[in-house]
Amino acid sequence: MVILVLVAAPIAMLNELNHVAVLLVLSGSDFLTTFSLDQVQASVPLFLNLHEHGVFIAQIFWGLWLFPMGYLIFKSNFLPKALGILMIIGGFGYLVDSFVYFIFPNFDVTFSEFTFLGELLLPLWLMFKGVNHEQWEKYALKST
């Protein structure tokens, strides 16, 4: 799980350079004087499209890391099993989005808009409900 996150994070961060490139192009810097106005304006959608492609590449790893996370939540007795199932469903949503985007680029439905619920509910559950203390203590006593 950690390896998948460690792969996804640099991809996502490097992908943000496309946004920086848009800002540089639109800043009117001196090095852009060799380009015509049409060329400068045409490069902005290029960088924005590259950013979109990069997001879908990073989503592959975002989806993959949700599988072990969901499995661990499901197998633990500290959190509801439904949260683990929702995390796994969210992982499928990200993977389906990525593969559909690259196979059918004109298909405009994103499944992760409907499958992200586990990622939303997990932090809310931890903030307001927390872990099951009885199960946590049983595990702590068992492991000592």
pLDDT of residue 16: 96
SS3 track for the chain? CHHHHHHHHHHHHHHCHHHHHHHHHHCCCHHHHHCCHHHHHHHHHHHHHHHHHHHHHHHHHHHHHHHHHHHHHHHCCCCCHHHHHHHHHHHHHHHHHHHHHHHCCCCCCCCHHHHCHHHHHHHHHHHHCCCCHHHHHHHHHHHC
Tens-digit pLDDT profile for residues 59-104: 999 999 999 999 999 998 889 999 999 999 999 999 999 999 999 9
- Provide the whole-model pTM: 0.81
pLDDT of residue 144: 66
pLDDT of residue 108: 84
pLDDT beyond 90 at 48:
yes
